[in-house]
Structure 1
Amino acid sequence: MAAEQLSAAMLLPEDVTVEQVLDGSYEPSVSELLGAAEVLEVPVAVLTGKLPTSGHLGVSLRLGRVKGSDALSGPLAYANRLLDYRALIDSWLGVAVAPLREQLARVKLSHDPFGKKAGMVTADRVRAILGLGDYEPIVDMVEMVESFGIPVASLPLPTNVHGLNVRDLRSGDANRVVLVSSADVWSKQRYTLAHELCHALYDDKDQVIIDRAEDPVALPEYRAEAFARHLLLPTRAVKRAVREAPTGLRRWQPVAASLMAGFGVSRDATVIALQEDGRVPSEELDPVRFARIEDLMSTAGLVDWWREFSESEHVESGSPMLVARAAQAYGHGWIRADLVADLMRADVETAERELAAAGWQPHS
């Protein structure tokens, strides 16, 4: 942008140059900063230094300061739109109630230097405060994460990226958005959501946390991995399953299948749990590792159940929380159908049809 354009947008006095603004010899007024913010598409808080560039995803994207932003440009742009939509909808409807935020805020987080232990202990405490105990499965991980006040959407992500966790400070408080890969199976998506919930609970500070298909290399990742596994599949549930296991050469197949289906976890996570918590020798789990999933489920009579949950695992989906609030705002005539469609991950025609079917019609 030319200096003349910026000067005109800021309505600077004739004897003041943009260079004087940039070198600090002239302090612009609030109205001048508002003009600069509008033409530069940068919040005034960033221009004044009250909000670091890393506190606003949109600004960071424009400046190219988000790690991995090239490969993730589309998903990150969508995450930024979700943050904008959320702010817009909140301005009309008020800030959404987050039912679990207050409960989870009371959880005493473990800061054990051994990351795996910290994650395991915190996961047990979360289950306890939510009344899940040691044997109750978490039925809906999307609902749990959104009940903490974090919108969740499922969409295509680059190969080997399971999830994105965006932390944004534009509204003053830390707001997050979580995206999970629609390419992943449903059990892996649940695991990713549990992993991202851990980052939120500990308020891990990275602006964008990329959950990749590789071994964790830092304390927050070790902690989040252990948290996810123990939140979804508690140690005592594994030990009980091992104690009650049948006899026979392939005895661990029905045990693994029941744990996978009952707690909504992947085969890999189940095998690790059986080894670490159940003390099952690795070689005894080979019939689990190398079986077809359908054959594995057949040993426990769970084929139909597993198929039902697998039917929609690769479907893109928007944030249920934001979609519901957007539909309400649309019904008042406060937002357009194209905004609701973007939140739904659908075209405008489909969105209008679904809104009408749900009884939402815009009012002037």
Structure 2
Amino acid sequence: MSSVSRSAWYDSLLTALGAARYTTDEVRARVSAELGDEPEWLADALSGSAAPSAYGYLILSAVTSIPISVLAGTVDPARSTGVALRAGTLANPSAITAQAQRRGVQLIEASRLICSWLGADAAAKASHLAAARAVVSRDAFAPHAGRNTAQQVRAMLDRLGLVRRSGPVGDLVSLAESLGIPVELSTDLPEGIHGITVHDESLGNWDCAIIIRVQDFWVRQRYTLAHELCHVLFRDSGLVSVNDDGVEDSTQDEESRAEFFARHFLAPAPEARRVWLSNLRASRGDGAQALCEFMLHFGISRQAALRILQSGQLISAEAAASFRQPSVGDQMESSGLGQVWQDLVDEQSEPSASVWLLEAALNLYQQELVPVGVVASVLGQPEEAVREDLRAQGWHVNSRI
């Protein structure tokens, strides 16, 4: 091996360990704890005398949680969420989301393992996502890019049989998961933080997971998920995208684009105009009644509905201001829709793991292809507690897994 190539692998190894804030002493201690003593190959690797073998890289990856591709220098450490998490550089300084970010990394890792067993099903989901990404708009003006992408992606998803080109989008979580994107409704996000997208590129793909704040109203959850879906479609920069109270008025192109996407994806402009005018006629000009019907039809919040109606020049700024005065619950009640609204609100606050990942993990566990720890990682619960719960439910699986 030439000195140039030796220098390259050694620099890559030290760069990866340094990015994750590991000292060589820590690495020695972790490997020794795993293998029982310090192997000769490790001393050679950490001194720059000889590159680790494939086995050596595997051990280093296992004890440091740094992907082999990062250790070997084929992927920049800055593109690895696991490295950033270890280094403490993943968290957004404007929000306390560290726990949710760790959860996102856990979901990405579980998804990778599960998809490695799913074959055609995982490939189909990846193909659907690739088809949606292929039609995103490249317009440099963020509002136009968001609007055009919403239209083009809905048309593509319609061709794939995943959603109708116009009209309301039903189960948005199921739609996202049909594209291979794990979505979790979580209590880990504090008030004012509506959702996050965590992504990782250390294996060459733009792998991600979306976490939505379950304490938000169901309409806010849907809007947040649509916003985060735009970040996934565009493979936006940053290992973590944080959706907080300031996002709707953000001037950053990525956030502005995602806002316009969410608005037009959930309520396409031609359909929004048709529904609004129809509601007005049915309510004999009662704008408050028409607004409530509009919100329920598209499954969007009052704030989103008013923005859509104003941008379409369907209501004035003064009318929008007047509609913001009573609470949504009171407004629904006075419009005769109080019980419908309350039933939907009552169902909104149950935390939920990724349905797709959980079903797949349980199926693989039943076939004894993955350990119970994979199911536990999808649920975000202790392994032994999940094992006992499954046994209590009648899951009789070989005890060794």
**TM exceeds 0.5?**
yes
Judge conservation of contact 1:238–1:278 (CA < 8 Å) in 2: no
Per-residue Cα deviation, 1:261-303 (whole angstroms, up to 9, x for no partner)? 1111000000111111143112123342112222322354332
Q: How does 1:331-350 map to 2 (within 5 A)?
A: 331-337=366-372, 339-345=374-380
The reply on whether 1:121 has 2:148 as its aligned counterpart is yes
**Is 1:84 paired with 2:109?**
yes
Deviation at 1:321, TM superposition (A): 0.7
1:329 paired to 2:327? no
- Cα 1:10–1:39 shift into 2, 3 Å: farther
1:286-301 → structure 2 map (5 Å cutoff): 286-301=321-336
Residue 55 of structure 1 corresponds to: 79
What is the TM-score of this pair, normalised by structure 1? 0.86
1:143 lines up with 2:174 in the alignment: yes
Structure-2 residue corresponding to 1:170: 202
Q: Give deviations 1:304-340, integer Å, cap 9, x for gaps.
A: 2222221132221110011001111221234444542
Q: Whole-Å Cα distance in 1 between the matches of residues 272 and 138 of structure 2? A: 25
Q: TM-score, normalised by structure 2?
A: 0.79
Give the 3 Å change call, closer, same or farther, for CA 68–10 of structure 1 in structure 2.
Answer: farther
Cα shift at 1:201: 1.1
State the Cα deviation string for residues 177-211 of structure 1 (Å, max 9, x = none). Answer: 11111221111110111111111111113211111
Determine helix, strand or coil for the equivalent of 1:97: helix
TM superposition outliers: structure 1 runs of 4+ over 6 Å: 247-250
How many residues matched?
Answer: 358
* Structure 2: 5+ residue stretches without partners: 1-22
Is contact 1:103–1:129 with CA below 8 Å preserved after alignment?
Answer: no
In structure 2, how many angstroms separate the alpha carbons of the residues matched to 1:133 and 1:321?
21
Q: Secondary structure at the match of 1:306?
A: helix
Which residue of the other structure, out of 108, 130, 152, is the alignment partner of 2:183?
A: 152
What CA distance in whole angstroms lies between the structure 2 residues aligned with 1:208 and 1:307? 33
Query: Which of these residues, 213, 222, 228, is aligned with residue 245 of structure 2?
Result: 213
Q: Secondary structure at the match of 1:178?
A: strand
CA distance in 1, matches of 2:40, 2:61: 12
Aligned partner (choices 242, 264, 271) of residue 237 of structure 1: 271
In 2: Cα distance, 1:17 partner to 1:90 partner: 33
The answer as to whether partners of 1:9 and 1:35 remain within 8 angstroms in 2 is: no
* Structure-2 change in CA distance of 1:207 and 1:163 (3 Å): same
CA contact (8 A) 2:91 2:97 kept: no
Please state if 1:37 is matched with 2:37.
no
Corresponding residue for residue 193 of structure 2: 161
Higher helix proportion (structure 1 or 2): 2
Q: Secondary structure at the match of 1:12?
A: helix
Identity %: 30
What are the ranges of 5 or more consecutive residues in structure 1 without an aligned counterpart?
none
- The answer as to whether partners of 2:57 and 2:68 remain within 8 angstroms in 1 is yes
Match of 2:215, SS?
Answer: coil
User: Is 1:12 aligned with 2:41?
Assistant: yes
